[in-house]
Amino acid sequence: MTTQSAGGFLHSFRPSRRGLLTGAAVAIALPLLASCAPAGGSAQVFGQPAGKLPSQYEGRRRIVFWNPWGGENNERILGYVQEFNDSQDEIYVEAQLQEGYDGTEQKFLAALQAKEVPDVIGLGDMSWPRFYLNDTLEPLGGYFGGDFTEDAIHPVLLEEGKVRGELYWLSYGRSTPLFYYNRDAFSKIGLPDRAPETWDELREWGKEINGFSYNGSPMKVRSYSGSDDWYIQGNIWSFGGAISRDMDITVAEAEAVAALEFDRALIHDDKAAYLSEDFTGDFATGMVATVTTSTGSLTGLTQNAQFEIGTGFLPKGPGGSGVPTGGGGLAIPKNADPENKKAAFEFMKFLSTGSRTIDWTLGTGYMPPTKEAMESPEFQTKLKENPNYGVSIEQLEIAKLPDPARRFVPETIQELRRVIQAVYADNADPATELGKAAATIAAAAESVKPQYDAKVKA
Amino acid sequence: MKRILPRIGTGAGLVAVALVFLVPLYWLVRSSLMPNEQIVAWPPKLIPTEFTLENFARALELAPFGQFALNSVIVAGTSTLLNVAIAVCTAYAFAFLDFPFKRALFLFMLGALMVPGHVTLLVNYITISNLGLLNTYAGLILPGVANAMATFLLRQHFLGIAPEVLEAAELDGAGHLRRLWAFVLPMSRPIVITVAVTTLIGEWNGFVWPLIATNTVEMRTMPIGLMYLRSVDGFEEWGPIMAGTLLVALPMLLAFLFAQRHIVAGFAGATTLRR
């Protein structure tokens, strides 16, 4: 993979060995996962990851929370955990940071093998469905009650954690991609102060943006991520295609190819965009005028960019709009101790209510998970100050879950990442690459299909 | 003129090669000392116009690097000692002792060199978990103490020691331990130091195993500390990340600089194999 940015050079210092870990653990652990699923009936009770109960919390029930949210967000989570531990005297929560969504997924796979699981775990939107398929997640519906019912959660976000009417994953730290643009550059170039309506309009505008001298250096239109296939999922929809319909792999069909061809042309024909190591960072530095990145970057971008940021819905394509939801949620492993599971849900409730939700939303840009948070005066004030915080919530109405293959067949994500890297970096032919990917994914989907048909398909 | 030109060429080549190694290091140090606006500024500033220690303060705020450093010292230090001790004894046996199935066992050990780390990852995890050693120093150290590469390097070097020396020692009544301690080791100093330093650096930088085998913040090691600085899908704060990276890399950089002379000698020695 070649990269074309100042950030690219920092690559060698990246502490993340995510690729390596993913490859290794997926290859080894997935075939074994099926064997550890409980054979129906009540689940076997597994052990709990080691840690310690500080003396001031002596006598309490200890709960282990595997937290995938690093950096500043970990600081926030630790604050809520402290608040929870001080708010009552029966439960002690110990948050253990894991390496992002992928790293947490791999570690959970290994933990299931070792029969030692946490009591609450933060899982990414594309990780939990496979744990559900293998019967490793606890149904959460029965835990609601009293002043905390399912009605408290935003209906779209609630629905996304459900399979066949039962909740397994409580949305937390959810996001959609947003279209971000550099308002300062747009005004200097003479473009309207809004996101483009369509991808074609973006390409038109791109001709004026490309090469524009911004702060003394020539600007490009966009930077792309080579390690996240979430964005191409949305684009494929907007061109009228899909990655899969149920377990039928449709990613090599003409519409999906057209979506990828659009990016290819913008990068290699127009020379107006490029694959970047830190694509969000490149937008913040003013190297590119627009970027599609997570709502979760909103606060960081707003604080770090030296210009005013505008946001809008993702542009439409010939197939209309295509907005995937993403981000994380909280789940309880089925094999955790039953009493721990109850305590774990108390903690999940604590995170999803009160001042924590508002602080989490404003601190990150993630969507507020509850109606309470969306309607809170703090959030409404922030909206008036900075309307960007409302865009993702409005966009949520047209957003939907990624296609089944991306959620249930792990090879889909690996293949799509390979394809976008080949196309973005090396100008590979989208049709050829997606054809190869479709064959690989279809083969993998075969083995998932029986479980999918039995447990998911409507 | 004829003599100067090639010299300039060699000099330029050397400078170019040196830059390949020095520029990333310079970039690391530079970025760790700059405020975030300057790090992300475009075009990049080669020389910071404003220095700050803020990034280090922030990195220490986000992750308890003091505790991590202590853990790393304990784990990497013990690991290295055990690694070298076991490798020296094993290599001595392979080089100087006669025992049944020696050849087969040696081939078996060479085979261990070819097994990639990820293949053993899950097996190690389950073993350590069954032993109840997850999240302990023992759990961090044990899976790595048998080092096939170190054993192989040491054995090759030991084979190069003139047999007459050891025969003379044996005639004078020196046992195996004495021969190892008083003759073989002093004659192999560079290679032993090389093995020790490369093992130390490898153990210090280990990421995947400590990530999997530890859970609590009290047991994490330095490289895992960097994970505490990265965000999931937010905006990356490169300043603290670079500052943290410098904290993690610096001790090994110093260790390497101090041991550098021996390492060069060690590798030079290892290439003159004799059977």
Is B127 within 8 Å of chain A by CB?
no
Which residue among B62, B119, B134 places its CB closest to the CB of A116? B134
Of A25-34, A75-84, A428-437, the range with the lowest mean pLDDT is A25-34
Query: Which residue in A10, A25, A294 is closest to B233 by CB distance?
Result: A294
Predicted local distance difference test score (pLDDT) of residue A310:
96
Nearest to A284 among B40, B215, B226 (CB): B40
Contact B232 A278 (CB under 8 A): no
Average pLDDT of the segment spanning A71-99: 94
For residue A136, which of A46, A62, A49, A65 has the smallest C-alpha distance? Answer: A46
pLDDT band at B238 (very low <50, low <70, confident <90, very high): confident
Average pLDDT in chain A? 89
Flag whether residue B149 sits within 8 Å of chain A, measured between CB atoms: no
Q: Would you state the pLDDT for residue B94?
A: 95
Q: Is residue A31 predicted with pLDDT exceeding 80?
A: no
Instruction: Pick B43 or A160 by higher pLDDT.
Output: A160
pLDDT higher than 60, residue A20: no
- Tell me if A71 and B237 make a contact (CB, 8 A cut-off): yes
> Can you tell me the distance from the alpha carbon of A412 to that of B53, in angstroms, rounded to the nearest whole number?
44
pLDDT per residue as tens digits for the range B162-190: 888 889 999 998 899 999 999 999 999 88
Write down the pLDDT at residue A369.
Answer: 85
- Mapped onto helix, strand or coil, the DSSP state of residue A241 is coil
Instruction: Specify the pLDDT at position B268.
Output: 66
pLDDT tens digits, one per residue of B118-146: 888 888 999 999 999 999 999 999 998 98
Residue B106 pLDDT more than 50? Answer: yes
Q: Residue A38 — very low, low, confident or very high, per pLDDT cuts 50/70/90?
A: very low
Q: Sort A257 into a burial class: Cβ within 10 Å, 0-12 / 13-18 / 19+.
A: buried
What distance in Å separates the CA atoms of residue A235 and residue A419, rounded to the nearest whole number?
14
Model ipTM value:
0.79
**Interval B236-257 mean pLDDT:** 90
What is the pLDDT averaged over residues A27-43?
Answer: 48
Do B231 and A365 count as a contact with CB atoms less than 8 A apart? no
Q: Tens digit of pLDDT for each residue in A94-121?
A: 999 999 998 999 999 999 998 999 999 9
Question: Comparing C-alpha atoms, which of A393, A432, A434, A394 is closest to residue A417?
Answer: A434
Q: Does the beta-carbon distance from B207 to A15 stay under 8 Å?
A: yes
Please report the pLDDT score of residue A311 as a whole number: 96
Report the pLDDT averaged over residues A417-440. Answer: 97
- Percentage, residues of chain A above pLDDT 90: 76
Residue A198 reports pLDDT greater than 70? yes
User: If you ran DSSP here, which 8-state letter would residue A268 be given?
Assistant: I
**pLDDT for A216:** 85
Q: What is the pTM of this model?
A: 0.84
